[in-house]
Amino acid sequence: MVSKSPVFFYSALYLSGIVFSNCNDIPASLFHHSTLFFLFLSFVIYKLDKRKGLVTTNILLGFCLFMTTFLAGAWNINNSAFANKNLKSFINQQESPVNLQLVIKQKAKTSNKTSSILVYSKKHKEHIILYSYHKEAFEKLIPGDILDIGLKLNKTTPSKDYLGYYQYLESIRCFNYSFVTASEIEKSYTPNSSWIRTMNAKRELLFESFREKNDHNEWCDILIAITSGDKSYLERETVMAFKSSGSLHLMAVSGLHVGFVYAVVLRLLFIFGKKKPMKIIKSIITLTLIWSYCAFSGFSDSSMRASIMISFFVLSWFFSGSYISLNALCASALFISVLKPHALYGTGFQLSYCAMLAILFINPYFAPLEFKSTILNYFKNIITISFSCQLGTSIISLTTFGEFPLYFLLANIIFIPATAIIIMLCSLLFLTGFHPVTTNAIMKIVQFLTNNMFSIAQRIGSLPGSLVKIGENPTEKFLTLLLLCCMIVYMVYRGNKNTNKL
């Protein structure tokens, strides 16, 4: 598979360049000049190669292109504000308060005592957390809105209990926080008139009206989380139940969700046939619906990644009639890392692509296991894909969170089919224009599924050792990671042999 995917090598080189540059304090100018030199050298070699196929020339050209790609990644991250060398505050705090123009990045979060919201300074390329003891202070704010406000900033400081959270804040360039009052927000607030803000406002209005019609029942909040990835309405108890059962990933719009929508669209568009004009129409409709779903999910990072992946699949299918999954996957990773080189260091990015790579490289290990029954094969695929994804992402999960859900297979066997049904039913609901007859029937099924998902998640999460914590003992953590690495290497090796036999 790797030999048939040239994009894999170039994306791997580009990402390697990002990692290399971020681990070394080398001036950006050196990467800049080196990239241009090898790019120019590649062009010269290509032009001078009059007799195509000369082995020496091809090797030299390949080397120059590889170096160009590697150095381009190093150059890109070196110029980014999110590079390791730039992980410090650029806001001058000599004066107090500091006057800033801030963009709202996320919805407000409310706890027992305070309400908080994440904002972003475009001028300083830096995030700030705003806190308020007035819970209603941020209720009007929607992502995309603007605040012109003077703040007295306090530096975020690491603590032993919240070291992981501090490292996360540092990775997104958030070094300061500030307390504000409702009156200060009211004076500085300016609603943004952009289409993104309008779309987010309508989305929030839709969620609120849906919750009010159903008496703010928990199943409504679970449905919103599953279909849109918005977990802000969920109670802490619900989040912990799904986390302990190993199924919290179902509440972040990812390749799984977008894949379900893609499957529905493909089934509905099969009547268009395979002629080129029809393929154009099918591709346009598919991409429009996929990106509409991405917009519905609030253009979250995970939904953007999934939509870009599916877009590359669609484009590959349109131009060639088929696609190599690894090519499309690596092309999407390369596209994202070119625009946002620091995305590579995001846990979501790492988990998404490790899960997809696990499906491509580890899942073939189970290829010889086939049943005559279609139903048995369906559940076999759920089990093997879930196991492959969990194994592929386990190293990152254990390194970052130090936790491992023990009963994830049991949860995914039940919840993945239920999630597929929910997303497909909601897609049909949208396509039928929310007709009263279809709406009533579909919502009863959805309510039944979400209620049962919550109760089952609670039961699985309450089982002994449902969430195993690994990492307090360094030796134990090292041995666990070593064992996982050996398993992954062995299964990838055997899976590759199974693929070659087929």
At residue 36 the predicted structure's pLDDT band, cuts being 50, 70 and 90, is very high
User: Using an 8 Å Cβ cutoff, are 203 and 298 in contact?
Assistant: yes
The average pLDDT across 172-188 equals 89
Task: Determine the pLDDT at residue 253.
Answer: 81
Q: How far, in Å, CA of 79 to CA of 69, rounded?
A: 16
C-alpha 434 chain-centroid distance: 29
CA dist., res. 101 & res. 148, Å (int): 5
Looking at domain 98-190, its CATH class is mainly beta
**Model confidence pLDDT, tens digit, residues 132-164:** 988 788 888 888 888 999 898 988 887 766 766
Q: Which of 454, 474, 456, 483 is nearest to 226 (CA)?
A: 454
The predicted structure's pLDDT at residue 90: 83
Hey, how many other C-beta atoms are within 10 angstroms of the C-beta on 439?
13
Mean pLDDT of the 39-51 span = 80
User: What are the residue ranges spanned by the domains of the chain?
Assistant: 2-79, 98-190, 224-501
pLDDT band, residue 3 (cuts 50/70/90): low
Q: Does pLDDT of 324 surpass 70?
A: no
pTM, whole model, 2 decimals?
0.82
The stretch 61-84 carries a mean pLDDT of 90
Judged by average pLDDT, the poorest of 191-195, 374-378, 383-387 is 191-195
Q: Is 49 helix (H, G, I), strand (E, B) or coil?
A: coil
Quote the pLDDT of residue 171.
82
Instruction: Show contacts of 465-471: CB within 8 Å, 24+ apart.
Output: 465/406, 466/244, 466/245, 466/405, 466/406, 466/407, 467/243, 467/244, 467/403, 467/404, 467/405, 467/406, 468/403, 468/404, 468/405, 468/406, 469/402, 469/403, 470/398, 470/402, 470/403, 470/404, 471/398, 471/402
Report, in this order, helix, strand and coil percent for the chain, each rounded to 5: 65, 10, 25
pLDDT for 93 beyond 70: no
**Residues 251-302 pLDDT 10s:** 888 877 888 888 878 877 777 777 777 888 888 888 888 888 888 887 777 7
Confidence tier at 215 by pLDDT (50, 70, 90): confident
pLDDT of 33 higher than 80 = yes
**pLDDT tens for residues 105-131?**
888 888 778 899 999 998 888 999 999
Instruction: Return the C-alpha torsion angle 372, 374, 375, 381, nearest 10.
Output: 90
Give tens-digit pLDDT for 405-457.
888 888 888 888 888 888 888 877 877 767 777 778 888 899 999 999 999 99
For the chain, how far is it from start to end, CA to CA, in angstroms? 12
Distant-in-sequence, close-in-space partners of 16: CB < 8 Å, separation ≥ 6? 70, 73
Question: Mean pLDDT over all residues of the chain?
Answer: 83
Confidence of residue 72 (pLDDT cuts 50, 70, 90): very high
Determine the pLDDT at residue 4.
67
Q: Which of 44-53, 274-283, 335-344, 477-486 has the lowest mean pLDDT?
A: 44-53
pLDDT for 369? 83
Under the banding of pLDDT at 50, 70 and 90, the label for residue 501 is low
User: What is residue 18's predicted lDDT score, i.e. its pLDDT?
Assistant: 92
* Stretch 229-235: mean pLDDT: 85
Contacts of 345 (CB under 8 A, 6+ apart): 22, 82, 171
